[in-house]
């Protein structure tokens, strides 16, 4: 088999793998942003008062 043909056959699965990696990365980033909003929206703590 010619090396050029072997390269073209092996390149076929690159695009789906990149697509899956991008979807997982976007999901993780969205989960982190949502978690930051959820955990950051607690009741505000009172500042200590000196008397």
Whether 29 shows a pLDDT value over 90: the answer reads: yes
Which pairs count as long-range contacts for 26-31, CB under 8 Å and 24+ apart, including other chains?
none
pLDDT of residue 2: 57
Weakest-pLDDT range from 18-22, 27-31, 34-38, 40-44: 40-44
Residue 13 CA: distances (Å) to CA of 7, 19, 27, 32: 11, 10, 22, 29
Q: Specify the higher pLDDT residue, 23 or 9.
A: 23
Residue 15 CA to residue 25 CA, distance in Å, equals 15
pLDDT band at residue 11 under the 50/70/90 scheme: low
């Amino acid at each position: 088999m010619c090396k050029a043909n072997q390269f073209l056959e092996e390149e076929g699965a690159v695009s789906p793998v990149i697509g899956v990696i991008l979807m997982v990365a976007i999901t993780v980033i969205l989960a982190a942003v949502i978690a930051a909003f959820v955990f950051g929206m607690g009741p505000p703590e009172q500042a200590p008062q000196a008397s």
